[in-house]
Amino acid sequence: MAERWRPERVTALAPDSASDVAGRRLAIPTPWSDVGYAYPLLWGACQGSGSTPYSVAVDVSEPSYRCSCPSRKFPCKHVLGLLYLWAEGRIDEGGTLSRFAAQWSATRAAGDRTDTSPDQPAEKTEAQLAAAASRAAQREERVTAGLEELDRWLADQVTAGLGNTRPGAFSDLAARMVDAQAPGVSGRLRDLARRPMAARTAARAGGAWLDDTLAEYGLLHLLCRAWTRTDLPDVLRATVRSHIGFTVPKETVLATPPVADTWAVVGMRDSDEEQVSTRRVWLYGTTTGRYALVLFFAQRGMPLDASLVPGSGIEADLHFYPGGPPLRALVGDTRDVIQRVRFTTPNRGVGGATAAWRRALAEDPWLGSYPCLVHGRARLTPTPGLVDDHGGSVRLVGGSMLSLLALTGGHPTTVFGELDPRGLLPTAVLTDDGLVVL
Amino acid sequence: MTFESLASIAAVGTGQRSTLPSLGQLSTYLPAADESAPEALAYELLDAAAALAVVRRGTPAPAPGDPTPPAPADTLPEPPVHVVSLLGPLLADDAGAIRHAADRAFVLQEALGLVAAARMRLPYRLLGTALARTDLRSSVRPVLGERGAWLLAQLDGNATSRPAAQAGLRAGQMTEVAAGVPDDETDVWDTGTSEERLAWFRRLRRRDPERARDEALGVWKESPAAFRAELMAAVADTAVASDEPFCEAGLDDRAEGVRVAAAAALSRLPGSAFVARMAARARASIRVDEVDPGGIHRLLRRSVRTLRVTPCDSDDAAVRDGLTARLSSGERLTRLVAAVPPGAWPELCGATAAELVSLQQDEPRWDLAPGLVTAVVRHRDADAANALVTAGIGDVRLVPLLSTEALLTLVAKVPPTLLGAVLEHVPLPWPAELATAVGQQLIGRDGHEVRPEAWALFARGVPLPVAGGWANRLRGLGQPDARTARGLLRDTTSVLTVRAVLYDELRGFLPPQDPRRGGRP
């Protein structure tokens, strides 16, 4: 029988926080009847607002799930509620398999037998290949024109003075960069547009807004210059293209040599942007000491991939996207999933983490943050920070500071996080009980 | 050239200048500027800004300061795993198993109390969430353990680690800080807002009534009428015998609010001259006569007691004591009766307070109940309160004073629509008998008439040892057809279930003397 899930894994499965909340609300025995569990099937009937209870079935090995309710959320709150009940140990092995679960299981088994491999790309004709090449060339022309316009705009702004920046200018330019098929540049401009107007006004005489805006202008200008260079090394060219927003097909990435390791999930962060939800999952290779970032995308409201559970580990091959430093990756062949991964780490201080961040910046000056581990003591006063054995310190940022302090009690611990100019955003901590994701 | 000096130039614009200051060694890394281009200076600045921005970003912000000693080891255990899994969403105020925020807040407070009584502490992973909620500080303090106390000390801005017990001693102070300011901070009394000053005064009044009254006297003359009325009301709530001269003087205040509050304060002092004056008026106004009604009563040699009420006049002395001519006769009577201690009635007219509301009256009938209830509540006279309920008075103000028996009487008499209003005043936890009576009403024939708040109060009021039993009983009712009823039933069952789970898990760890430990009825 497989190991029982932890509630955190159920949380990770929820398509959004509202569903998670609704699922937790159902994680009490009151509305449930005919529940049971026989690996890998978990089933139950949940009394909703109608007269007939909803039938729920979950295959915890994949996971996949089915509920008879009409919800468009997937998984729905009933599935989540049942999983929470099970994860909290309220459903033991046993019970009579419901008809619904039996039918669903049989249908899936039949479907598996007839399933063709959807991952196999269809063979393309010559005409299709020529059309694709033409589209690619057309896009490169648009990007070139768009970045020329952006660079001129940046020079105009610096000539006229940043204090005269027109409100809404960033949003307009971001829209033009979308037209120029440079979504990465557009995203950076939208970030600039999010800075509050009050901060801009206050910054006319100087201050953080001015410094940060000029820094971003400089980096955008550098990106424009890099795009025009034909003599860049392949790795740097790939980095530049990724920041502009060129994607690399999955098949191409999966064709790169795999990096095998037991990868610990040392951080996870979800965010919503317009109609797209993004999940960023940080992995740490427990043998190689490498880091990887796996991104999952979903239409807003739809569930994000929950195969990588915070605090767990996967024994798997990772395939890294081109560019330097190699960070973004796809999960290839997965051989095992370890519910609570245990490993040791080198005793690395703030200096080591900063040096790695600088090396990463040298390879990719547009990099926003870089994963790291720091062995040190967390403290809250006089400044929230992490102090290593040699007295080196880095400021702690983000909302998980209190949890980090509570878990470590100021004792020396290994902390995983994202390092950026503001400091360290802690994502996980290695405790005596194993890895705990914050 | 630093990044900041580049930013200063960029803020104004390179259009205002012909050259940039020397970039020094940095220029060797930058592309050569095309001086013929009109924006050459701008591009030169952007190149330099890009290089310096990368250098600048390469140094994450440090955290200067002396090291903090780590947290001492904890000795208290964590609660059982099911308790922790319920506490997590409750502390985070996630809907979890309980839908309404008010129910969650109640169950959380009860759960924290149980954990504290079981001599356990919050697990480390919940401490961050618990301490992030400043509204919970006083209730989580007993379950913080050493680690939590250490963390709280840092949050307070004091990096010195202190033992949990020592931090616990500061609980009262913390509550006061959260509510406003500590009592010994007289600056607030001198310079605070009206609200802060009143909060300070009320706290001091509870702790040191004489000093508080002296402070009030010190500012009395220059204080506006509304503030004086609030001060006098605070004195009335906590009146002591030595307040009498101050309150007596208040009867002559030019503000009506002060005069009314002063009368209320004096009526709480049974030995005061004010009470004596009002008692004398009551003796003159309210009389119980034995009359010969004739007929069957004469044959049985039985007389009938009749209440005779003569509303008092509004002479100058009566006006000073609050019985003004502007009030109706009934209102004056209510004020008069409210000012008489309930225990004084047998001596004044030969009948108890409860008998006064039951006696026969000639027309017009005078309603003494409002005044009597006010007096009973002012003097916290539980016997009189029970007797009034037995006599048929269903005033909710009496509820906190009632015995279980009287409460059951009241609950049985009150219409279903008013059940919630009564239960709202019953202190928690309820007696098991009351829970049974209310539960039976809720699931009985008239249950649909009971307002929703009665269901919520029932879910909170049921004593812990029987919460599980009631949850099962409600669950066994099935699903009512009406949507509202289904929701009420589900929410009540959820609260009872969570309370029962918490209790079942922690009951065995409660000390023998804890009343909650008792066996299931």
CATH number at residue A278: 2.40.50
- Please give the helix or strand (H or E) that residue B459 lies within, else none: helix B452-461
Query: Does a structural domain hold residue A52?
Result: yes
Give the full edge-to-edge strand order of the sheet including A32-38: A32-38, A41-46, A54-59, A64-67
Which pTM was predicted?
0.70
What is residue A95's three-state secondary structure? Answer: coil
Strand ranges in B22-181 using DSSP code E only, listed in sequence order: none
Chain A contacts in chain B segment 26-45 (CB below 8 A): 31, 39, 41-43, 45
Cβ contact B143:B111 at 8 Å: no
DSSP state of A154: H
Query: Does a structural domain hold residue A127?
Result: no
* Amino acid in the structure at residue B128: G
- B10–A159 C-beta distance less than 8 A: no
Question: Are residues A137 and A238 part of one domain?
Answer: yes
Q: Which of B48, B127, B490 is closest, CB to CB, to A30?
A: B490
Q: Which residues contact B337 (CB under 8 A, 6 or more apart)?
A: B282, B286, B368, B370, B371, B372, B374, B375
The pLDDT-based confidence of B160 (bands split at 50, 70, 90) is: very low
**Domain containing residue A48:** 7-113
pLDDT of A197 reads 52
Query: Does a structural domain hold residue A234?
Result: yes
- For A339-372, give one letter per residue: b (16+ CB within 10 A) or e: eebebeeeebbbebbbebbbebbebbbbbebbbb
> Would you put residue A207 in left (φ > 0), alpha (ψ -120 to 50) or beta?
left
What is residue B465's three-state secondary structure? Answer: helix
- For B352-389, give one letter per residue: b (16+ CB within 10 A) or e: bbbbbbbbeeeeeebebbbbbbbbbbbbebeebbbbbb
Residue B303 has pLDDT above 90, yes or no: no
- B159–A381 C-beta distance less than 8 A: yes
The pLDDT-based confidence of B479 (bands split at 50, 70, 90) is: confident
Cβ contact A174:A250 at 8 Å: no
- A393–B63 C-beta distance less than 8 A: yes
Q: Which of B62, B96, B124 is closest, CB to CB, to A406?
A: B124
Q: Which residues contact A356 (CB under 8 A, 6 or more apart)?
A: A370, A372
Chain A contacts in chain B segment 152-191 (CB below 8 A): 154-155, 157-159
Distance between CA A415 and CA A350 in Å, rounded? 11
Residues in chain A, total: 438
Question: Are residues A149 and A84 part of one domain?
Answer: no
B74 to chain A: closest CA residue: A409
Question: Are residues A72 and A34 part of one domain?
Answer: yes
Cβ contact B495:B459 at 8 Å: yes
Question: Are residues A289 and A198 part of one domain?
Answer: no
- Which residues of chain A have a CB within 8 Å of the CB of B85? 7, 88
pLDDT of A256 reads 92
The pLDDT-based confidence of B495 (bands split at 50, 70, 90) is: very high
| Tokens 């890009």 found at | B50
B212's tokens: 């508080």
CA dihedral A95, A97, A98, A101 (to 10 degrees): 130
Q: Which residues contact B303 (CB under 8 A, 6 or more apart)?
A: B290, B291, B292, B293, B297
Main-chain phi, psi angles of A317, to 5 degrees: -95, 135
pLDDT of A115 reads 46
Q: Which of A47, A215, A409 is closest, CB to CB, to B147?
A: A409
Query: Does a structural domain hold residue A205?
Result: yes
Question: Are residues A281 and A178 part of one domain?
Answer: no
Strands B304-309 and B360-361, by their bridges, are parallel
How do the residues of chain B divide into helix, strand and coil, expressed in percent and rounded to 5? Answer: 65, 5, 35
Each as own residue / partner, the long-range contacts of residues B122-126 (CB below 8 Å, 24 or more positions apart, any chain) are: B122/B78, B122/B79, B122/B87, B122/B148, B123/B78, B123/B79, B123/B84, B124/A406, B124/A407, B124/A409, B125/A403, B125/A406, B125/A407, B125/A436, B126/A406, B126/B84, B126/B87, B126/B88, B126/B91
Cβ contact B62:A395 at 8 Å: yes
- What's the Cα-to-Cα distance from B242 to each of A202, B199, B200, B272, B344, rounded to whole Å? 59, 22, 21, 10, 22
The pLDDT-based confidence of B272 (bands split at 50, 70, 90) is: very high
How would you class A199 by CB atoms within 10 Å of its CB: exposed for 0-12, middle for 13-18, buried for 19 or more?
middle
The pLDDT-based confidence of B520 (bands split at 50, 70, 90) is: very low
- Contact B51/A at CB under 8 A: yes
- Contact B128/A at CB under 8 A: yes
Q: Which of A307, A338, A369 is the endpoint of a domain? A: A338
Q: Which of B46, B70, B81 is closest, CB to CB, to A221?
A: B46
Cβ contact B10:B49 at 8 Å: yes
Question: Are residues A137 and A107 part of one domain?
Answer: no
Cβ contact A392:A357 at 8 Å: no
Question: Are residues A148 and A63 part of one domain?
Answer: no
- Please give the helix or strand (H or E) that residue A377 lies within, else none: strand A370-379
> Would you put residue A338 in left (φ > 0), alpha (ψ -120 to 50) or beta?
beta
The pLDDT-based confidence of B64 (bands split at 50, 70, 90) is: confident
Q: Average pLDDT in the B207-223 region? A: 91
What is residue A48's three-state secondary structure? Answer: coil
How many CB atoms sit inside 10 A of residue A324's CB?
A: 18
Q: Which of A197, A229, A244 is the endpoint of a domain? A: A244
Q: Average pLDDT in the B154-180 region? A: 44
- Which residues of chain B have a CB within 8 Å of the CB of A25? 95-99, 494
pLDDT of A376 reads 92
Question: Are residues A427 and A373 part of one domain?
Answer: yes
Which of A240, A381, A383, A407 to mutate against chain B (most B CBs within 10 Å)? A381
- B471–A218 C-beta distance less than 8 A: no
Distance between CA B55 and CA A219 in Å, rounded? 12
- B148–A219 C-beta distance less than 8 A: no
The string of pLDDT tens digits covering residues B402-431 is 999 999 998 888 888 888 888 988 988 899
Chain A and chain B share a number of CB contacts under 8 A equal to 240
Q: Average pLDDT in the B23-38 region? A: 77
Cβ contact B121:B143 at 8 Å: yes
Query: Does a structural domain hold residue A259?
Result: yes
| Tokens 């760890």 found at | B509
DSSP state of A13: H
- Contact B66/A at CB under 8 A: yes
Q: Which residues contact A108 (CB under 8 A, 6 or more apart)?
A: A59, A64
Q: Average pLDDT in the B216-230 region? A: 92
- From the list B392, B414, B410, B413, the residue with the least C-alpha distance to B402 is B410
pLDDT above 70 coverage of chain B, percent: 90
A3's tokens: 């190991």
Question: Are residues A194 and A231 part of one domain?
Answer: yes
- For A401-437, give one letter per residue: b (16+ CB within 10 A) or e: bbbbbbbbbbeebbbbbbbbbbbbbbbbbbeeebbbb
Give the full edge-to-edge strand order of the sheet including B286-291: B286-291, B304-309, B360-361
Question: Are residues A205 and A148 part of one domain?
Answer: yes
B17 to chain A: closest CA residue: A159
- Which residues of chain B have a CB within 8 Å of the CB of A383? 63-65
Cβ contact B244:B266 at 8 Å: yes
Question: Are residues A330 and A406 part of one domain?
Answer: no
pLDDT of B300 reads 66
In angstroms, what separates the C-alpha of B457 from chain A's closest C-alpha? Answer: 19
Task: List, for chain A, all residue ranges whose pLDDT scores fall below the cut of 70.
Answer: 1-2, 49-50, 111-124, 196-206
- Please give the helix or strand (H or E) that residue A329 lies within, else none: strand A329-338
- For B214-223, give one letter per residue: b (16+ CB within 10 A) or e: ebbeeebeeb
Cβ contact A340:A346 at 8 Å: no
Number of domains in chain A: 4
Query: Does a structural domain hold residue A315?
Result: yes
First to last CA, chain B: 82
Q: Average pLDDT in the B173-181 region? A: 38
DSSP state of B238: T
How do the residues of chain A divide into helix, strand and coil, expressed in percent and rounded to 5? Answer: 40, 25, 35
Instruction: Look over chain B and give the mean of its residue pLDDT values, rounded to a whole number.
Output: 85
- From the list B159, B174, B134, the residue with the least C-alpha distance to A384 is B159
B158 to chain A: closest CA residue: A381
pLDDT of A420 reads 93
Distance between CA B11 and CA A209 in Å, rounded? 11
Cβ contact B183:B202 at 8 Å: no
Q: Which of B49, B54, B61 is closest, CB to CB, to A423?
A: B61
Residues in chain B, total: 521
- A386–B64 C-beta distance less than 8 A: no
Q: Average pLDDT in the B195-211 region? A: 92
Distance between CA B59 and CA A393 in Å, rounded? 11
Residue B176 has pLDDT above 50, yes or no: no
Residue B379 has pLDDT above 70, yes or no: yes
Q: Average pLDDT in the B242-254 region? A: 93
What sign does the CA torsion over B506, B509, B511, B517 have? positive
Question: Are residues A366 and A430 part of one domain?
Answer: yes
Q: Which of A182, A214, A244 is the endpoint of a domain? A: A244
- From the list B187, B65, B162, B77, the residue with the least C-alpha distance to B124 is B77
pLDDT of A316 reads 94
